[in-house]
Amino acid sequence: MQTDIIMPQLGESIAEGTIITWLISPGGRVEKDQSLLEVETDKVALEIPSPSSGFLTEVLIPAGQTVPVGTLLARLNTESPDAEVVSRVGGVVVRQMDHSPADEDHYSPAVKQLAKEHGVDLSTLTGSGGGGRITKKDVLDYVAQHENTRKTATRPVARTEPVAAAHDDQVLPLTAMRKMIAERMVKSRQTSAHVVTVFEADFSAVAKLREGRTLTYLPFVIHALARAIRDAPILNSSWSEAGIIQKRDIHIGIAVALEEGLLVPVVKHADRKRLTQLSQEVTDLADRARSKRLQPEEVQGGTFTITNHGGFGSLFSTPIIHQPQIAILGVGAVQKRAVVINEAIAIHPMAYLSLSFDHRVIDGATADRFMKKVKSYLETSEWKQVL
């Protein structure tokens, strides 16, 4: 019997996905729940398991293409008697979409939002996605083309040589994740008024409690940060033209470095969890991020982000804000340094904490008061009470 493999709905607001690679070649055998292909959205990259055992008889959408949810991707010749057109993939059940003339002008929410931001009439664009569907890349390419045209018409053309690879240079193709990160970072710098403030924190109390335990420094930082956000909830907000949107729940995103880029899984309700629970959850999220086993909802809903660049030995950082949040905390390496304590020189484990914040929402005084709280909570000697 035959099972249709279709693009699953990988999250509430996800309308399309990009096929990164097929993990099974056409004609190849696959076992039930074995990874069949790798899919990436603007929220997460993950591997999709096969709904049945059998042979991949036909691949209709090749790697590299972006297609809407419900698109028929491939066909699987299954050995299971209960195989059907409905495929259970990615933890959800989806059916192939019935396309009708009335649906031809349907655009994904992400595409419509992008077009609105740049004043683009989508009806004038030709789509490069499956079935002629307009993708975010189509909109961005259109904006870039018209921006270049406008600049050319309003100022002299600069005599600059185009960037080209020399004969001994290696050109590394851009992955979908790298393109996405590039777009987001540039957009964040263009959106928020970035300002950075740096504090130094004494980790002596934290180091003392860690003795004989498997806890890393990160759970302590998350706990201190969540306490400080409760004291200064304006840091847990987003900017909008209608006003500042202050979030009630505290969901802390943790930047996880992958070989090909970066993912930010989210610790939900971080202010309600103890150190041990935070440690277990962070380890689990990071492990599954690196093995591409995160669920879409696990990278959504963050209200504040931490980037632990100190894990690689970095001391200072000026991280870029993860939109639509208004701040991100950079945590430097914890190092033993000579410091002055009570008029005497002592050796203490110290680390620099950098806060990048959106000056549209808060001023320097607010940011510094907030960081003073984070520092104070980290240096507390009462960590056993929240173990």
Catalytic residues: 359, 363
Instruction: Give the sheet arrangement for strand 72-78, strand by strand.
Output: 2-6, 72-78, 54-59, 29-30
The C-alpha atoms of residue 224 and residue 374 are separated, in whole angstroms, by 6
Nearest to 321 by CA among 231, 179, 199, 193: 193
- Helix axes 218-231 and 364-378, enclosed angle (nearest 10): 130
Summarize the chain as % helix, strand, coil (round to 5): 30, 25, 40
**Alpha carbons within 13 A on the beta-carbon side of 166:** 2
Q: How far apart are CA 287 and CA 305, in angstroms?
A: 18
Backbone angles phi, psi at 284, to 5 degrees: -65, -45
Strands 262-263 and 266-267: unpaired
Question: Collapsing DSSP states into helix, strand and coil, what is residue 27?
Answer: coil
One-letter-per-residue 3-state SS of 137-203: HHHHHHHHHHHHHHHHHHCCCCCCCCCCCCCCCCCCCCCHHHHHHHHHHHHHHHHCCEEEEEEEEEC
Alpha helices in the chain (DSSP H): 109-118, 136-154, 176-191, 204-210, 218-231, 275-290, 364-378
Whole-number Cα distances in Å, 328 to 96, 254, 255: 40, 10, 10
151 to each of 53, 107, 147, 160, 186, how far by Cα in Å? 56, 29, 6, 15, 19
CA distance 143 to 153: 15
